[in-house]
Chain A
Amino acid sequence: MITSAAVAIAEARIGRLGESVYSGRARTILERSYLAFRSSAWIVVLTGFLEPVLYLFSFGYGVGKLIGKMEVGPGHFVSYAAFIAPALLATSAMNGAIYDATWNVFFKMKFDRVYQGMLATSLGPLDVALGEISWALLRGMVYAIAFMSIVGGLGLITTPWALLAIPVAVLIAFGFASVGMAVTTYMKSFEQMNIINIVLLPMFLFSGSFYPLTIYPGWLQGFIKALPLWHGITLMRSVSLGLISAALLPHIVYFLAMIAIGLFFTTRRLTKLFMR
């Protein structure tokens, strides 16, 4: 009997929970992303976090001039740039996660056949999913740090609580990545993938990034408050401005629920997704 190292490693895991979908080596997928990343163009990496920065300059400066200060609490006024900066960070965390966990996954599945290669080895689908999501989060974190440095450089950070913006960005990204990947497992064509974009844009535009929801009629406010990005933006804005209170807990719980539900469905569907 030949027993190779690969077999010995796999056999060491026999009987563990989820052995049919998980081999405990999601980190090798991260390693793969790093290898691929090493050879990517530096300018693409460098410009990755540019979008929220451009919005910040354009809206913060230009529209800010037209609008003036925003009231974020009784008698608590901040500049328009400080008002939108957290919303932009939350949105870019969402967009990055969605890009990595949906479009990227969809492409790799349909055209590159990278996953087929991975899944011909002793990896399981959950290794692949966790590995891909982790990379998305890692990248999101680096971009969040870069964005916050710029926001800080502009003098828009006034409280040490603002450091929490970085873990909050990761939390938001995790929530969207898990749900996004779960949704992708149900997607068959580009047309369907496009629906994701059609849902995201209005969410960005109406979730209170640029002004408080109070200008909307009550029913619309209620609807928007049910959407994840509003929770992300509200949470991010509160920590960035140092408005910490127990009222933030429901937002955190919202995202934890997204992560749990997303991962549950992703795992359930992955075998189907990869092995058809």
Chain B
Amino acid sequence: MHKESLIQAKGLTKLYGDFAAVKGIDFSVHKGESFGFLGPNGAGKSTTMRIIAATLTRTSGEISILGKDPAERGPEIRAHLGVVPQQDNLDQALTVTDNLYIYGRYFGLSRKFIRAKIEELLDFAQLVEKRDVKVETLSGGMKRRLTIARALISEPEILMLDEPTTGLDPQARHILWDRLFRLKEQGVTLLITTHYMDEAEQLCDRLMVMDKGSIMAEDSPSGLIKKYSTKEVLEVRFGSDKNAEVSPQLSTLCERMEVLPDRILMYADDAELLLEEIRKKGLHPVTSLVRRSSLEDVFLRLTGRSLVE
């Protein structure tokens, strides 16, 4: 399959004063794919997203979006984008409908087009009853839904979502996922950051794991799991003070081990077998759990920290 690359970055760097938030990263995003950024807090995901969205100027390096330089052709590039920032930036002085309306006007869309689109988006965001309410008075999740709906008003060909589902209830999350799948079917390119591993696994064709401004790995979700984790994981607990104490005795038994404050994760291709061996050693965990490896394990391996802090 021919892959047309929409976004290309080379040596992309962003400095805040002396502090490097993004340290010379290379990546490219293909047309029609769904591309995810993973990484602990402060990794530089939002910074990267904002540079792509042409709302933050890079310090150095190259980036082209649709073959254009965001520093030179900002307005033109942004006409192709729909952006959901990490922090909602709705217009607090306006109502729900007016927020959607004026956002469409910013793109230069005709009133008639916008009016029709608003009805569809209110429905999608489940905000029909709240249409004439001031944004200030919406709940947190409602604001989030409105921000997402707003990003769709211009029918963008690249949709950028920075932690879109934070604060959404499960139902709203599934409605969003469904919508994103449909958009993808229509050929829309998705850029997503998330701290929910299930979301990343569900939505993304390709993931880039970042930490401290650098790229740690890049592959499909299953590719990452294959490359950076074992087939299965054994989770054992010995009680908060004992975990660290017994860990030296355990380390010889498995390929790799993560000692977390509350539990120990042991990586092996057969976790049941591993548990047997532990018991043979006369160690008896308070609880134990055998499960398949997930993205979370990849994350731990690559960044040395758990996602959920």
Contact = CB atoms under 8 A, between A and B. Distances in A.
Q: Which of B55, B57, B106, B156 has the most CB of A within 10 A?
A: B106
Interface string A171-196: 00000000000000000000000000
B74 A118 contact: no
Given A20-B71, A120-B89, A276-B56, 20 more contacts: A4-B80, A5-B154, A6-B80, A6-B109, A10-B80, A11-B76, A13-B76, A19-B73, A20-B75, A21-B74, A25-B105, A31-B105, A32-B91, A35-B93, A112-B91, A112-B92, A114-B89, A114-B93, A121-B78, A122-B106
Given A28-B102, A117-B91, A275-B55, A4 B76 contact: no
Interface residues of A, number: 39
Interface in B88-123: 89-95, 98, 101-103, 105-110, 113
A121 B103 contact: yes
B241 interface: no
B57 A275 contact: yes
Interface in A20-72: 20-23, 25, 28, 31-32, 35-36, 39
20 contacts: A5-B110, A5-B113, A6-B155, A9-B107, A9-B109, A10-B76, A10-B79, A13-B75, A13-B76, A19-B75, A20-B71, A20-B75, A21-B75, A25-B105, A32-B91, A35-B94, A39-B93, A116-B85, A122-B106, A276-B57
B106 A2 contact: no
Nearest to A3: B157
Interface in A237-276: 271-272, 274-276
B154 A2 contact: no
Interface of A: 2, 4-7, 9-11, 13-14, 19-23, 25, 28, 31-32, 35-36, 39, 112-114, 116-124, 271-272, 274-276
A124 B110 CA distance: 19
Q: Main SS of the interface on chain B?
A: loop
Contacts of A121: 78-79, 103, 106-107, 154
Nearest to A18: B75
Contacts of B75: 10, 13, 19-23, 122-124
A120 B105 CA distance: 13
Interface residues of B, number: 43
Contact of B91 (A10, A36, A123, A275): A36
B188 to A, nearest CB: 8
A19 B91 contact: no
Given A2-B155, A2-B187, A14-B76, A31 B109 contact: no
Contacts of A7: 79-80, 157
A271 to B, nearest CB: 7
A27 B56 CA distance: 24
Interface of B: 53, 55-57, 71-76, 78-81, 83, 85, 87, 89-95, 98, 101-103, 105-110, 113, 134, 154-157, 186-188
A115 to B, nearest CB: 9
Contacts of A112: 89, 91-92
Contact of A6 (B73, B108, B186): B108
A117 B79 contact: no
Contacts of B56: 275-276
A114 B76 contact: no
A10 B107 CA distance: 8
A25 B80 CA distance: 17
B102 A32 contact: yes
A154 to B, nearest CB: 36
Given A5-B113, A5-B154, A120 B90 contact: no
Q: Which of B78, B85, B98 has the most CB of A within 10 A?
A: B78
A25 B106 contact: yes
Contacts of A39: 93-95, 134
Nearest to B157: A2
A113 B89 contact: yes
B74 A124 contact: yes
B306 to A, nearest CB: 30
A226 to B, nearest CB: 37
A28 B78 CA distance: 16
